[in-house]
C-alpha cells in the first residue's frame, strides 16, 4: 500500500507513535495496515461487524505480511474490547448515530477519556452537529477538529 486516502491519512496523523489502537468499523483495513507498515502503533486491533469487511481487511494484511501484527476481530462496536486493550480508538466512516450507539454501549470509554487515558478519533459521515452536541452534553472535550478534503468531499475529524 503506497498511500492512504487523504481522509485516512489525516486520521493516521492524529495517532501518537507507540499507541495501542483499535480501528472500529475497519472496513478494508487500510488504516491498520498503514499503522503496521509505518510502525506507528505498538498494538493494532481491527474490528468490524461485517464478516465480509473483516475478510477484506485480513486479505490486505496478508498481502503485506502483517497478519501477526494486526488483531482482526468480528464484533459490534467496542463489545470485544476490554478497557485495558487500547489507548486510542478510531471510529470513522459511519454516521453520527452509529458512533453515538457505539460509545453509549461502552460506558467505560467515558471514564477513560475523562481521565485522559484514552483518546478518541471520530470521523462521522453524517450529522456532525448531533455528535458534537452529544460530546458536549456528556462532558467530553474536543481537543482538535480537522477538516480534510478527499475525493471532492469535506470530512471533519474530531480528536477527543
Residue 95: predicted pLDDT: 95
Residue 128 has pLDDT above 70, yes or no: yes
**What's this model's pTM, rounded to 2 decimal places?**
0.94
Residue 2 has pLDDT above 80, yes or no: no
pLDDT digits (tens, 9 = 90+) for 12-38: 999 999 999 999 999 999 999 999 999
pLDDT digits (tens, 9 = 90+) for 102-113: 999 998 998 898
Residue 114 has pLDDT above 90, yes or no: no
Pairing of strands 71-74, 41-48: parallel
The answer for 16, left when phi > 0, alpha when psi is -120 to 50, beta otherwise, is beta
109 touches 82 (CB < 8 A): no
29 touches 52 (CB < 8 A): no
Please give the Cα distance from 160 to 142 (Å, whole number).
5
Residue 1: predicted pLDDT: 65
Please give the Cα distance from 3 to 106 (Å, whole number).
32
Residue 17: predicted pLDDT: 96
Of residues 10, 8, 38, 37, the one with CA closest to residue 23 = 8
Alpha-carbon separation of residue 142 from 2, 38, 57, 72, 86 (angstroms): 31, 27, 29, 29, 19
Q: Where are the domains of the chain?
A: 6-159
Which grid cell is 31?
488504516
pLDDT digits (tens, 9 = 90+) for 51-102: 999 999 999 999 999 999 999 999 999 999 999 999 999 999 999 999 999 9
Q: Say if domain 6-159 classifies as CATH 3.40.50.2000.
A: no
Amino acid at each position: 500500500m503506497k498511500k492512504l486516502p487523504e481522509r485516512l491519512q489525516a486520521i493516521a496523523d492524529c495517532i501518537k507513535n507507540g499507541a495501542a489502537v483499535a480501528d472500529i468499523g475497519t472496513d478494508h483495513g487500510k488504516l491498520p495496515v498503514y499503522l503496521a507498515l509505518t510502525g506507528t502503533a505498538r498494538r493494532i486491533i481491527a474490528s468490524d461487524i461485517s464478516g465480509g469487511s473483516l475478510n477484506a481487511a485480513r486479505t490486505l494484511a496478508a498481502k503485506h505480511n502483517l497478519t501477526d501484527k494486526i488483531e482482526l476481530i468480528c464484533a459490534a462496536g467496542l463489545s470485544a474490547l476490554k478497557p485495558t486493550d487500547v489507548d486510542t480508538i478510531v471510529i470513522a466512516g459511519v454516521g453520527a448515530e452509529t458512533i453515538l450507539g457505539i460509545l453509549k454501549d461502552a460506558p467505560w470509554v467515558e471514564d477513560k477519556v475523562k481521565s485522559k487515558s484514552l483518546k478518541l478519533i471520530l470521523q462521522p459521515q453524517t450529522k456532525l452537529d448531533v455528535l458534537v452536541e452529544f460530546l458536549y452534553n456528556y462532558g467530553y472535550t474536543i481537543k482538535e477538529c480537522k477538516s480534510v478534503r478527499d475525493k471532492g468531499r469535506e470530512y471533519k475529524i474530531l480528536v477527543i
